[in-house]
Amino acid sequence: METRQMAVEQTTGAVTNQTETSWHSIDWAKANREVKRLQVRIAKAVKEGRWGKVKALQWLLTHSFYGKALAVKRVTDNSGSKTPGVDGITWSTQEQKAQAIKSLRRRGYKPQPLRRVYIPKASGKQRPLGIPTTKDRAMQALYALALEPVAETTADRNSYGFRQGRCTADAAGQCFTVLGRSDCAKYILDADITGCFDNISHEWLLDNIPLDKEVLRKWLKSGFVWKQQLFPTHAGTPQGGVISPMLANMTLDGMEELLKKHLRKQKVNLIRYAGDFVVTGESKETLEKVTTVIQEFLKERGLTLSEEKTKVVHIEEGFDFLGWNIRKYGEKLLIKPAKKNIKAFHKKIRDALKELRTATQEAVIDTLNPIIKGWANYHRNQVSKRIFNRADDNIWHKLWRWAKRRHPNKPARWTKNKYFIKIGNRHWVFGTWKKDKEGRLRSRYLIKAGDTRIQRHVKIKADANPFLPEWAEYFEERKKLKEAPAQYRRIRRELWKKQGGICPVCGGEIEQDMLTEIHHILPKHKGGSDDLDNLVLIHANCHKQVHSRDGQHSRFLLKEGL
C-alpha cells in the first residue's frame, strides 16, 4: 500500500506537504495540467480497449492531491456553491476549502441523503431535484474528473447534452444537416423518455459504468429527505448531482450505433440532447421499427418512452425540439423559435413587470435586460429576426401599460417624456439619462431583441474529443469562435474574448456558471485605470488568491503576460 501511495504522489505531483499548504498557495495552473494529463491517458486507454489501465489511472486521479483540489474548486466556484445539503454546511473560507481537500477520502466515505426540492415545469408538473451535501458534491466532482474521459470517448457521435464543447445549437445544426437536403428523410420520430434521471436501473449502472463500484453504489442508495422524512432510492440518479448528467448520458450511449446496425440505408439518423431526442426515417414503417428497437434498448436500462410526448410527424408538419420549431416549407428547411418558447418568454416578461409595479425604472431595466438578452442570444443562430422584432413590439406595449398604470391622471406626452428617451433615430427607447461621477450624461435603457445580430453557428465535428491530443488544435480554434456568456456585461464579454475564455491565474476555463471578478492589474488606489489593458477577468476564488499574496498580485499577473 505504501508503494502504491508513493506511485500516486510521483504521478500526480501531489507531495505530502502540499496538503498542509493554504488554499490560496495552490498552483492551479499546474493542477489543471496534471489532471488533464491523466485524463488524456485515460481517454487513450479507452480508445485502445485497455480497461485495466483505465481503472488504474482512474484510481490515481481520484487519489491525487490536484484532483481533489480541482474538485473542491469546482463546487466552490459554482454559482450554486452557497446552496447547502441536508447538513446545512457550505465551504466559503480558504481554511474550510483546504480542510475539504483532506476530507475527500474513499476509505470510510459514506454519503448523506439528498435534500429533495421541487421546481415547476412548463407543463405545470413539478420536477424533483436532489441536492447533495457540499462534501458529496465534491466527491462526485472528483470521480467525474476520472469518468469524463471515458464518457467522451465512448459517447454517441450525435449526443450533444452535458458534454464539453457541445450545446443545443450543435443539435439544431445536425437537424439541419440531415433534414435540409432535398433527398432527406421525410418523417421524424419526436421522442421523450419518461423521467429519464429518476428511473435508470441501479443494477444496470453498477454493471456497466466503469467507475469505482462501491462509491457509485453508495451514491445511488443514499436516499433523500423530504419534509424531515428519509426515503430510500431504488432507481434513478438524482437531478442536481454533479455526476448525474454524465451517468444519464452513458446510460443512453449506444442507441445510435444500435439503430445504424438494425436499420441501415433507411435514412435513420439520431440527434440526442440528454433525454430528448429525434430520429429521422424514410417512412412511418421505418420509424415503427425504430420505436421497437429503442423500447427494447431502454427496457434493459429500466426506462420507457413517454406515450404522451412521443409521436411521428412529417417534415412539412414540423416538430419542436429544444425550444425551436424545425419545419420544411417546400424545399426549404427553417429552424425558428417555437411558439411555446415565445409564449414562455412573454409570460416571464409579464410576470416580471407585475412584480415590479412599484419599482423604479432602473430596477425594471436591470431585471428585463438579462431576460431579453439571454433569450435573444439563445435563438440568434436560427431564423429569428422577425420574431425578435415582434417580441420588441410586444414588450413595448407591456411597458407602456406599466407606465400608464403608474400615472393614470397624466397625459400621454408627459408619460412619454418621463419614461422614454431618444437615442440616435429612436424616439421611444425605454430609458433614462443619468449623470456619472464626472458629470457626464449617461443613458440607461432597455435593450431590444431585434438588435441581436443573427449569427450562424458552426456545428462541432461529431468525432471531436477534448481529451485526445489529435483534437487539441481543433478545440483551440473553436474557442476563438465562442462568445462570452450572456449574463456578462459588455466589459466582461470583451475581457473573456481577449483572454480566450481562460483564467490567467489558474489556467482553467471560465464557464458560464462560474463566479468571476474583474481584477485591476495596477490597483486604482495606485493610479490604475479602468481601461481594458489594466483589467483581467478571473475566477472569484482566484481573485481572493491573488489578493492574498501580500501586495504581489499585480506583479504576479504581469509575470503571466497580462
Boundary-marking domain end, from 337, 354, 384: 337
- Count up the domains in the chain and report the number: 4
Amino acid identity for residue 418 in this structure = K
Task: For residues 377 and 298, state if they share a domain.
Answer: no
Exposure string over 530-557, b if 16+ CB within 10 A, otherwise e: eeeebbbbbbebbbebbeeeeeebbeeb
CA angle 416, 419, 420 (to 5 degrees): 65
- Pairing relationship of beta strands 276-281 and 332-337 according to DSSP bridges: unpaired
Dihedral sign (CA 291, 294, 296, 300) = negative
- Domain annotation covers residue 521: yes
Q: What is the pLDDT of residue 480?
A: 61
Task: For residues 283 and 310, state if they share a domain.
Answer: yes
pLDDT at residue 125 is higher than 80 = no
Q: Which stretch of 134-148, 268-282, 516-530 has the lowest confidence by average pLDDT?
A: 516-530
pLDDT at residue 386 is higher than 60 = yes
Boundary-marking domain end, from 318, 337, 356: 337
Amino acid identity for residue 540 in this structure = A
What is the average per-residue pLDDT within 38-63? 97
pLDDT at residue 551 is higher than 60 = no
Query: Cβ–Cβ contacts within 10 Å for residue 340, how many?
Result: 12
Main-chain phi, psi angles of 369, to 5 degrees: -60, -50
Question: Domain range spanning residue 258?
Answer: 157-200+238-337
Query: Cβ–Cβ contacts within 10 Å for residue 346, how many?
Result: 14
Task: For residues 24 and 144, state if they share a domain.
Answer: yes
Rounded Cα distance between 157 and 48, Å, is: 18
Is 60 strand, coil or helix?
helix
Task: For residues 162 and 273, state if they share a domain.
Answer: yes
Task: For residues 190 and 176, state if they share a domain.
Answer: yes
Task: For residues 320 and 185, state if they share a domain.
Answer: yes
- Pairing relationship of beta strands 229-231 and 441-445 according to DSSP bridges: unpaired
- Domain annotation covers residue 470: no
- Domain annotation covers residue 461: no
What tens digit of pLDDT does each residue of 433-470 get? 887 777 777 888 999 999 999 988 999 999 999 999 99
- Which long-range contacts (C-beta less than 8 Å, at least 24 apart) are formed by 361-369? 361/419, 361/430, 361/431, 361/432, 362/432, 362/444, 364/399, 364/402, 364/430, 364/446, 365/430, 365/431, 365/444, 365/445, 365/446, 368/395, 368/446, 369/446, 369/447
What tens digit of pLDDT does each residue of 235-292 get? 888 788 899 999 999 999 999 999 999 898 899 999 999 989 999 999 999 999 999 9
Tell me the pTM.
Answer: 0.83
Task: For residues 428 and 291, state if they share a domain.
Answer: no
Task: For residues 62 and 188, state if they share a domain.
Answer: no
Task: For residues 161 and 143, state if they share a domain.
Answer: no
Rounded Cα distance between 140 and 158, Å, is: 26
- Domain annotation covers residue 6: no
